[in-house]
Structure 1
Amino acid sequence: MEYRTLGSSGLQVPVLSFGTSTFGGKGRFFSAWGKLNAIEARRMIDICLDAGANLFDSADVYSEGAAEEILGAALKGRRDRALIATKMGLPLGDGVADSGTSGQRIVAAVEKALNRLQTDRIDLLQLHGFDASAPIDEVLAAFDSLVQSGKVRHVGASNFSGWQLMKSLASSDKNGWPRYVSHQVHYSLVGRDYEWELMPLAQDQGVSAMVWSPLGWGRLTGKVSRHQSAPAGSRLDTVAHWGLPVNEEKLYNVVDLL
Protein backbone atom coordinates (compact mmCIF):
# COMPACT_ATOMS: atom_id res chain seq x y z
CA MET A 1 0.00 0.00 0.00
CA GLU A 2 1.20 3.50 -0.81
CA TYR A 3 0.93 6.12 1.93
CA ARG A 4 0.89 9.90 1.81
CA THR A 5 1.01 12.70 4.35
CA LEU A 6 -2.42 14.12 5.09
CA GLY A 7 -2.07 17.83 4.49
CA SER A 8 0.12 19.56 7.06
CA SER A 9 -0.74 17.05 9.79
CA GLY A 10 2.21 14.68 9.52
CA LEU A 11 -0.33 11.83 9.60
CA GLN A 12 0.49 9.04 7.15
CA VAL A 13 -2.61 7.72 5.42
CA PRO A 14 -3.14 5.14 2.66
CA VAL A 15 -4.00 6.33 -0.83
CA LEU A 16 -7.11 4.17 -0.62
CA SER A 17 -9.49 4.55 2.30
CA PHE A 18 -12.70 2.69 3.09
CA GLY A 19 -16.03 4.52 3.34
CA THR A 20 -18.65 3.09 5.68
CA SER A 21 -21.85 4.48 4.19
CA THR A 22 -22.83 0.88 3.32
CA PHE A 23 -22.91 -0.08 7.01
CA GLY A 24 -26.31 -0.31 8.70
CA GLY A 25 -28.76 0.43 5.91
CA LYS A 26 -31.17 2.56 7.94
CA GLY A 27 -33.50 4.97 6.20
CA ARG A 28 -34.63 5.27 2.60
CA PHE A 29 -31.39 6.83 1.36
CA PHE A 30 -28.75 4.67 3.06
CA SER A 31 -30.67 1.42 2.67
CA ALA A 32 -30.06 1.85 -1.07
CA TRP A 33 -26.31 2.07 -0.43
CA GLY A 34 -25.96 -1.12 1.58
CA LYS A 35 -27.11 -3.01 4.65
CA LEU A 36 -23.94 -4.57 6.03
CA ASN A 37 -24.10 -5.79 9.62
CA ALA A 38 -21.21 -5.97 12.10
CA ILE A 39 -20.13 -9.47 11.04
CA GLU A 40 -20.03 -8.57 7.34
CA ALA A 41 -18.34 -5.25 8.10
CA ARG A 42 -15.66 -6.93 10.20
CA ARG A 43 -14.80 -9.22 7.30
CA MET A 44 -14.41 -6.26 4.97
CA ILE A 45 -12.29 -4.42 7.51
CA ASP A 46 -10.13 -7.56 7.88
CA ILE A 47 -9.42 -7.41 4.15
CA CYS A 48 -8.60 -3.69 4.30
CA LEU A 49 -6.24 -4.01 7.26
CA ASP A 50 -4.45 -6.97 5.69
CA ALA A 51 -3.88 -4.84 2.57
CA GLY A 52 -2.69 -1.82 4.57
CA ALA A 53 -5.79 0.29 3.89
CA ASN A 54 -6.23 1.37 7.49
CA LEU A 55 -8.22 4.61 7.13
CA PHE A 56 -11.98 4.23 7.66
CA ASP A 57 -14.33 7.12 6.95
CA SER A 58 -17.77 7.45 8.50
CA ALA A 59 -20.34 10.07 9.56
CA ASP A 60 -22.99 10.50 12.21
CA VAL A 61 -25.63 10.84 9.50
CA TYR A 62 -24.79 7.46 7.92
CA SER A 63 -27.76 5.25 8.81
CA GLU A 64 -28.57 7.48 11.80
CA GLY A 65 -25.34 6.63 13.59
CA ALA A 66 -25.51 2.88 12.90
CA ALA A 67 -22.49 3.03 10.56
CA GLU A 68 -20.31 4.42 13.34
CA GLU A 69 -21.62 1.79 15.77
CA ILE A 70 -20.82 -1.03 13.35
CA LEU A 71 -17.39 0.40 12.58
CA GLY A 72 -16.60 0.65 16.29
CA ALA A 73 -17.73 -2.92 16.89
CA ALA A 74 -15.73 -4.22 13.91
CA LEU A 75 -12.55 -2.51 15.17
CA LYS A 76 -12.94 -3.67 18.75
CA GLY A 77 -9.67 -5.09 20.03
CA ARG A 78 -7.59 -3.59 17.22
CA ARG A 79 -8.31 0.11 17.37
CA ASP A 80 -4.61 0.95 17.30
CA ARG A 81 -4.28 -0.64 13.86
CA ALA A 82 -6.78 1.78 12.33
CA LEU A 83 -7.31 5.46 11.63
CA ILE A 84 -10.87 6.67 12.10
CA ALA A 85 -12.28 9.64 10.20
CA THR A 86 -15.84 10.74 10.76
CA LYS A 87 -18.04 13.68 9.90
CA MET A 88 -20.74 15.75 11.58
CA GLY A 89 -22.87 18.78 10.79
CA LEU A 90 -25.70 17.56 8.54
CA PRO A 91 -29.23 17.49 10.05
CA LEU A 92 -30.07 14.46 12.16
CA GLY A 93 -33.62 15.51 12.95
CA ASP A 94 -36.11 18.36 12.89
CA GLY A 95 -35.17 19.89 16.24
CA VAL A 96 -33.24 23.13 16.67
CA ALA A 97 -30.30 21.24 18.18
CA ASP A 98 -30.32 18.56 15.47
CA SER A 99 -28.50 20.52 12.79
CA GLY A 100 -25.72 23.04 12.29
CA THR A 101 -22.17 23.34 13.51
CA SER A 102 -22.38 25.56 16.56
CA GLY A 103 -19.62 25.02 19.08
CA GLN A 104 -22.04 23.37 21.46
CA ARG A 105 -23.30 20.95 18.83
CA ILE A 106 -19.79 20.06 17.68
CA VAL A 107 -18.69 19.13 21.19
CA ALA A 108 -21.87 17.16 21.85
CA ALA A 109 -21.62 15.38 18.49
CA VAL A 110 -18.06 14.28 19.22
CA GLU A 111 -19.05 12.79 22.56
CA LYS A 112 -21.82 10.80 20.89
CA ALA A 113 -19.52 9.69 18.07
CA LEU A 114 -16.87 8.51 20.53
CA ASN A 115 -19.48 6.38 22.28
CA ARG A 116 -20.75 4.88 19.04
CA LEU A 117 -17.23 4.20 17.79
CA GLN A 118 -16.14 2.74 21.16
CA THR A 119 -12.96 4.81 21.15
CA ASP A 120 -11.35 7.63 23.08
CA ARG A 121 -10.22 9.59 20.02
CA ILE A 122 -11.12 10.49 16.47
CA ASP A 123 -8.12 10.73 14.16
CA LEU A 124 -9.82 13.06 11.69
CA LEU A 125 -13.02 14.98 12.47
CA GLN A 126 -14.59 16.66 9.44
CA LEU A 127 -17.43 19.11 9.01
CA HIS A 128 -19.85 17.48 6.59
CA GLY A 129 -20.68 20.85 5.09
CA PHE A 130 -20.40 24.59 5.68
CA ASP A 131 -22.90 26.12 8.09
CA ALA A 132 -23.39 29.81 7.30
CA SER A 133 -25.25 30.36 10.58
CA ALA A 134 -22.29 29.29 12.73
CA PRO A 135 -19.48 31.85 13.18
CA ILE A 136 -16.25 30.42 11.80
CA ASP A 137 -14.34 31.44 14.92
CA GLU A 138 -16.83 29.57 17.11
CA VAL A 139 -16.44 26.42 15.02
CA LEU A 140 -12.65 26.52 15.12
CA ALA A 141 -12.53 27.36 18.83
CA ALA A 142 -14.62 24.25 19.49
CA PHE A 143 -12.22 22.20 17.38
CA ASP A 144 -9.32 23.65 19.34
CA SER A 145 -10.84 22.55 22.66
CA LEU A 146 -11.38 19.04 21.31
CA VAL A 147 -7.83 18.78 19.99
CA GLN A 148 -6.42 20.11 23.26
CA SER A 149 -8.41 17.51 25.19
CA GLY A 150 -7.07 14.68 23.01
CA LYS A 151 -10.52 13.63 21.78
CA VAL A 152 -9.73 14.75 18.21
CA ARG A 153 -6.31 14.58 16.55
CA HIS A 154 -6.89 16.52 13.33
CA VAL A 155 -9.74 18.40 11.65
CA GLY A 156 -10.95 18.59 8.09
CA ALA A 157 -13.77 19.99 5.98
CA SER A 158 -16.09 18.56 3.37
CA ASN A 159 -18.01 20.14 0.49
CA PHE A 160 -16.72 23.66 1.15
CA SER A 161 -16.42 26.36 -1.48
CA GLY A 162 -13.10 28.11 -1.99
CA TRP A 163 -13.93 31.19 0.08
CA GLN A 164 -15.33 29.08 2.92
CA LEU A 165 -12.19 27.00 3.15
CA MET A 166 -9.80 29.94 2.79
CA LYS A 167 -11.61 32.07 5.37
CA SER A 168 -11.47 29.18 7.83
CA LEU A 169 -7.76 28.66 7.24
CA ALA A 170 -7.09 32.37 7.71
CA SER A 171 -8.95 32.35 11.04
CA SER A 172 -6.96 29.33 12.20
CA ASP A 173 -3.69 31.03 11.31
CA LYS A 174 -4.69 34.27 13.03
CA ASN A 175 -5.81 32.64 16.28
CA GLY A 176 -3.48 29.64 16.48
CA TRP A 177 -6.36 27.18 16.15
CA PRO A 178 -6.19 23.81 14.32
CA ARG A 179 -6.09 24.12 10.54
CA TYR A 180 -8.10 21.96 8.21
CA VAL A 181 -5.64 19.35 6.94
CA SER A 182 -8.05 17.74 4.49
CA HIS A 183 -11.03 18.55 2.32
CA GLN A 184 -13.42 15.78 1.35
CA VAL A 185 -14.66 16.64 -2.12
CA HIS A 186 -16.62 15.26 -5.04
CA TYR A 187 -14.12 14.55 -7.83
CA SER A 188 -14.29 12.15 -10.77
CA LEU A 189 -14.05 12.06 -14.54
CA VAL A 190 -17.66 13.29 -14.64
CA GLY A 191 -17.32 15.78 -11.80
CA ARG A 192 -14.21 17.93 -12.23
CA ASP A 193 -15.25 21.24 -10.64
CA TYR A 194 -12.64 20.63 -7.91
CA GLU A 195 -9.89 21.44 -10.39
CA TRP A 196 -10.89 25.05 -11.01
CA GLU A 197 -10.38 26.69 -7.62
CA LEU A 198 -10.22 24.19 -4.79
CA MET A 199 -7.32 22.15 -6.15
CA PRO A 200 -4.88 25.07 -6.51
CA LEU A 201 -6.05 26.43 -3.16
CA ALA A 202 -5.38 23.07 -1.52
CA GLN A 203 -1.94 22.82 -3.10
CA ASP A 204 -1.03 26.32 -1.92
CA GLN A 205 -2.37 25.82 1.62
CA GLY A 206 -1.33 22.22 2.26
CA VAL A 207 -4.83 20.73 2.39
CA SER A 208 -5.13 17.17 1.12
CA ALA A 209 -8.09 15.98 -0.94
CA MET A 210 -10.19 13.08 0.30
CA VAL A 211 -12.29 12.19 -2.72
CA TRP A 212 -15.86 11.00 -2.45
CA SER A 213 -17.63 9.26 -5.32
CA PRO A 214 -14.63 8.85 -7.65
CA LEU A 215 -16.84 6.57 -9.76
CA GLY A 216 -19.51 9.24 -10.19
CA TRP A 217 -22.17 7.51 -8.07
CA GLY A 218 -21.57 4.28 -10.00
CA ARG A 219 -21.74 5.81 -13.46
CA LEU A 220 -18.13 4.84 -14.18
CA THR A 221 -18.32 1.23 -13.04
CA GLY A 222 -18.83 -0.06 -16.57
CA LYS A 223 -22.47 -0.91 -15.89
CA VAL A 224 -23.79 2.28 -17.50
CA SER A 225 -23.46 3.30 -21.15
CA ARG A 226 -25.35 5.01 -23.94
CA HIS A 227 -27.30 1.82 -24.48
CA GLN A 228 -27.52 0.60 -20.88
CA SER A 229 -29.03 2.65 -18.07
CA ALA A 230 -28.42 1.93 -14.41
CA PRO A 231 -29.83 -1.48 -13.40
CA ALA A 232 -33.29 -1.23 -11.85
CA GLY A 233 -33.09 -1.17 -8.07
CA SER A 234 -29.39 -0.28 -8.04
CA ARG A 235 -28.01 2.49 -5.85
CA LEU A 236 -27.69 4.84 -8.81
CA ASP A 237 -31.20 4.06 -10.05
CA THR A 238 -32.64 4.63 -6.59
CA VAL A 239 -30.86 7.72 -5.26
CA ALA A 240 -29.24 9.54 -8.22
CA HIS A 241 -31.78 12.38 -7.97
CA TRP A 242 -30.32 13.24 -4.52
CA GLY A 243 -26.80 13.58 -5.90
CA LEU A 244 -25.01 16.16 -7.99
CA PRO A 245 -26.38 16.48 -11.56
CA VAL A 246 -24.33 15.00 -14.37
CA ASN A 247 -24.54 16.03 -18.01
CA GLU A 248 -25.49 12.81 -19.76
CA GLU A 249 -23.74 13.61 -23.05
CA LYS A 250 -20.49 14.41 -21.23
CA LEU A 251 -20.94 11.23 -19.21
CA TYR A 252 -21.30 9.05 -22.28
CA ASN A 253 -18.34 10.74 -23.96
CA VAL A 254 -16.24 9.70 -20.97
CA VAL A 255 -17.71 6.21 -20.77
CA ASP A 256 -17.07 5.65 -24.49
CA LEU A 257 -13.34 6.13 -23.84
CA LEU A 258 -13.13 3.73 -20.90
Structure 2
Amino acid sequence: MEYRNLNGTGLFVPALTLGTATFGGTHGFEGWGHTDVAEATRMVDMCLDAGLNMFDTADMYSRGLAEEILGKAIAGKRNRILLATKGTFPMSDNDRNATGASRYHIIRACEASLKRLGTDHIDLYYIHGFDANTPVEETLRALDDLVSSSKVSYIGCSNFSGWHLMKSLAI
Protein backbone atom coordinates (compact mmCIF):
# COMPACT_ATOMS: atom_id res chain seq x y z
CA MET A 1 0.00 0.00 0.00
CA GLU A 2 1.28 3.45 -0.88
CA TYR A 3 1.36 5.85 2.06
CA ARG A 4 1.33 9.63 1.85
CA ASN A 5 2.04 12.36 4.34
CA LEU A 6 -1.10 13.99 5.73
CA ASN A 7 -0.24 17.51 4.61
CA GLY A 8 1.27 19.64 7.35
CA THR A 9 1.69 16.76 9.81
CA GLY A 10 4.04 13.90 10.53
CA LEU A 11 1.25 11.34 10.04
CA PHE A 12 1.36 8.98 7.07
CA VAL A 13 -1.95 7.73 5.71
CA PRO A 14 -2.66 5.16 3.00
CA ALA A 15 -3.47 6.40 -0.49
CA LEU A 16 -6.79 4.54 -0.18
CA THR A 17 -9.32 4.65 2.65
CA LEU A 18 -12.38 2.47 3.20
CA GLY A 19 -15.49 4.63 3.44
CA THR A 20 -18.43 3.34 5.46
CA ALA A 21 -21.47 5.19 4.13
CA THR A 22 -22.87 1.78 3.12
CA PHE A 23 -22.77 0.54 6.73
CA GLY A 24 -26.26 0.35 8.20
CA GLY A 25 -28.55 1.58 5.45
CA THR A 26 -31.05 3.68 7.42
CA HIS A 27 -32.16 7.33 7.70
CA GLY A 28 -31.72 8.22 4.05
CA PHE A 29 -28.91 5.77 3.30
CA GLU A 30 -31.15 2.86 2.33
CA GLY A 31 -30.10 3.10 -1.31
CA TRP A 32 -26.39 3.15 -0.46
CA GLY A 33 -26.18 -0.32 1.08
CA HIS A 34 -27.01 -2.39 4.13
CA THR A 35 -23.61 -3.60 5.34
CA ASP A 36 -24.01 -5.37 8.68
CA VAL A 37 -21.41 -6.10 11.38
CA ALA A 38 -20.35 -9.48 9.97
CA GLU A 39 -19.81 -8.09 6.48
CA ALA A 40 -18.10 -4.96 7.83
CA THR A 41 -15.74 -7.10 9.91
CA ARG A 42 -14.86 -9.13 6.84
CA MET A 43 -14.21 -5.93 4.88
CA VAL A 44 -12.00 -4.50 7.64
CA ASP A 45 -9.99 -7.73 7.82
CA MET A 46 -9.56 -7.80 4.03
CA CYS A 47 -8.37 -4.20 4.07
CA LEU A 48 -5.87 -4.84 6.85
CA ASP A 49 -4.55 -7.92 5.02
CA ALA A 50 -4.00 -5.73 1.93
CA GLY A 51 -2.21 -3.02 3.94
CA LEU A 52 -5.09 -0.55 3.99
CA ASN A 53 -5.48 0.60 7.57
CA MET A 54 -7.59 3.77 7.39
CA PHE A 55 -11.35 3.79 7.80
CA ASP A 56 -13.60 6.79 7.26
CA THR A 57 -17.10 7.27 8.62
CA ALA A 58 -19.43 10.05 9.77
CA ASP A 59 -21.97 10.47 12.51
CA MET A 60 -24.70 11.22 9.94
CA TYR A 61 -24.24 7.96 8.02
CA SER A 62 -27.41 6.07 8.95
CA ARG A 63 -27.67 8.49 11.87
CA GLY A 64 -24.83 6.90 13.83
CA LEU A 65 -25.43 3.28 12.88
CA ALA A 66 -22.44 3.24 10.49
CA GLU A 67 -20.16 4.30 13.37
CA GLU A 68 -21.65 1.61 15.63
CA ILE A 69 -21.08 -1.08 12.99
CA LEU A 70 -17.53 0.11 12.28
CA GLY A 71 -16.81 0.20 16.01
CA LYS A 72 -17.81 -3.45 16.34
CA ALA A 73 -15.87 -4.39 13.19
CA ILE A 74 -12.63 -2.87 14.50
CA ALA A 75 -12.96 -4.22 18.04
CA GLY A 76 -9.62 -5.64 19.15
CA LYS A 77 -7.87 -4.08 16.15
CA ARG A 78 -7.83 -0.41 17.16
CA ASN A 79 -4.04 -0.28 17.57
CA ARG A 80 -3.65 -1.34 13.91
CA ILE A 81 -5.88 1.26 12.29
CA LEU A 82 -6.34 4.95 11.60
CA LEU A 83 -9.87 6.09 12.26
CA ALA A 84 -11.54 9.13 10.70
CA THR A 85 -15.03 10.45 11.33
CA LYS A 86 -16.97 13.61 10.70
CA GLY A 87 -19.58 15.78 12.40
CA THR A 88 -21.73 18.80 11.48
CA PHE A 89 -24.83 17.58 9.66
CA PRO A 90 -28.18 17.14 11.49
CA MET A 91 -28.44 14.26 13.92
CA SER A 92 -32.01 15.00 15.02
CA ASP A 93 -35.22 16.15 13.40
CA ASN A 94 -36.24 18.07 16.52
CA ASP A 95 -33.12 19.45 18.23
CA ARG A 96 -31.93 22.64 16.52
CA ASN A 97 -28.56 22.36 18.30
CA ALA A 98 -27.87 18.83 17.03
CA THR A 99 -26.36 20.25 13.85
CA GLY A 100 -23.69 22.69 12.75
CA ALA A 101 -20.17 23.54 13.85
CA SER A 102 -20.92 25.31 17.11
CA ARG A 103 -18.83 24.39 20.13
CA TYR A 104 -21.98 22.99 21.71
CA HIS A 105 -22.63 20.59 18.84
CA ILE A 106 -19.05 19.66 17.88
CA ILE A 107 -18.02 18.62 21.41
CA ARG A 108 -21.19 16.55 21.86
CA ALA A 109 -20.96 15.09 18.36
CA CYS A 110 -17.36 13.99 18.92
CA GLU A 111 -18.14 12.44 22.29
CA ALA A 112 -21.11 10.57 20.80
CA SER A 113 -18.91 9.33 17.93
CA LEU A 114 -16.28 8.09 20.38
CA LYS A 115 -18.96 6.12 22.22
CA ARG A 116 -20.46 4.63 19.06
CA LEU A 117 -17.00 3.72 17.72
CA GLY A 118 -15.99 2.16 21.04
CA THR A 119 -12.72 4.06 21.24
CA ASP A 120 -11.09 6.74 23.36
CA HIS A 121 -9.67 8.75 20.45
CA ILE A 122 -10.26 9.61 16.81
CA ASP A 123 -7.21 9.93 14.60
CA LEU A 124 -8.74 12.41 12.12
CA TYR A 125 -11.88 14.39 12.92
CA TYR A 126 -13.50 16.38 10.12
CA ILE A 127 -15.94 19.22 10.10
CA HIS A 128 -18.29 17.66 7.56
CA GLY A 129 -19.58 20.90 6.09
CA PHE A 130 -19.13 24.64 6.49
CA ASP A 131 -21.49 26.27 8.99
CA ALA A 132 -22.18 29.90 8.03
CA ASN A 133 -24.11 30.44 11.29
CA THR A 134 -21.13 29.76 13.57
CA PRO A 135 -18.02 31.94 13.75
CA VAL A 136 -15.02 30.04 12.40
CA GLU A 137 -13.11 31.02 15.56
CA GLU A 138 -15.65 29.14 17.70
CA THR A 139 -15.37 26.01 15.57
CA LEU A 140 -11.58 26.07 15.53
CA ARG A 141 -11.40 26.62 19.32
CA ALA A 142 -13.68 23.61 19.88
CA LEU A 143 -11.52 21.48 17.57
CA ASP A 144 -8.35 22.67 19.29
CA ASP A 145 -9.84 21.70 22.65
CA LEU A 146 -10.67 18.23 21.32
CA VAL A 147 -7.04 17.85 20.23
CA SER A 148 -5.74 19.21 23.57
CA SER A 149 -7.90 16.70 25.44
CA SER A 150 -6.47 13.82 23.31
CA LYS A 151 -9.92 12.87 22.03
CA VAL A 152 -8.78 13.83 18.51
CA SER A 153 -5.28 13.66 17.04
CA TYR A 154 -5.75 15.63 13.80
CA ILE A 155 -8.49 17.82 12.33
CA GLY A 156 -9.72 18.40 8.81
CA CYS A 157 -12.68 19.55 6.78
CA SER A 158 -14.91 18.10 4.10
CA ASN A 159 -17.31 19.75 1.67
CA PHE A 160 -15.76 23.20 2.08
CA SER A 161 -15.45 25.59 -0.83
CA GLY A 162 -12.02 27.06 -1.49
CA TRP A 163 -12.89 30.38 0.12
CA HIS A 164 -14.34 28.68 3.22
CA LEU A 165 -11.12 26.75 3.59
CA MET A 166 -8.98 29.85 3.09
CA LYS A 167 -11.04 31.75 5.68
CA SER A 168 -10.49 28.95 8.18
CA LEU A 169 -6.76 28.74 7.42
CA ALA A 170 -6.37 32.51 7.78
CA ILE A 171 -7.76 32.30 11.31
Q: TM-score, normalised by structure 1?
A: 0.65
The alpha carbon displacement at 1:93 in A equals 2.0
Q: Tell me whether 1:77 sits opposite 2:90 in the alignment.
A: no
Instruction: Identify unmatched segments of 5+ residues in structure 2.
Output: none
Alignment of 1:63-142 (within 5 A): 63-94=62-93, 95-142=95-142
Alignment of 1:1-258 (within 5 A): 1-27=1-27, 29-94=28-93, 95-171=95-171
What code does the residue aligned with 1:121 have?
H
Give the RMSD, CA atoms, in angstroms.
0.8
What code does the residue aligned with 2:86 have?
K
Secondary structure in 2 aligned to 1:84? strand
Between structure 1 and structure 2, the one with the greater Rg is 1
Instruction: Identify unmatched segments of 5+ residues in structure 1.
Output: 172-258
The alpha carbon displacement at 1:98 in A equals 1.8
Secondary structure in 2 aligned to 1:30? coil
Q: Percent identity?
A: 55
The alpha carbon displacement at 1:108 in A equals 0.6
After superposition, give the CA deviation of every residue in 1:70-105 in whole Å (9 maximum; x if it has no partner).
101010011010100001101122321121110111
> Conserved in 1, the CA contact under 8 Å of 2:55 and 2:83?
yes
Secondary structure in 2 aligned to 1:87? strand
Secondary structure in 1 aligned to 2:9? coil
The alpha carbon displacement at 1:161 in A equals 1.0
Structure 1 moving runs of 4+ over 4 Å: none
> Conserved in 1, the CA contact under 8 Å of 2:121 and 2:151?
yes
Secondary structure in 1 aligned to 2:89? coil
Q: Distance in 2 between matches of 1:50 and 1:71?
A: 17
The size of the alignment, in residue pairs, is 170
Q: TM-score, normalised by structure 2?
A: 0.97
Q: Distance in 2 between matches of 1:77 and 1:91?
A: 30
Q: Distance in 2 between matches of 1:132 and 1:159?
A: 13
The alpha carbon displacement at 1:135 in A equals 0.4
The alpha carbon displacement at 1:170 in A equals 1.2
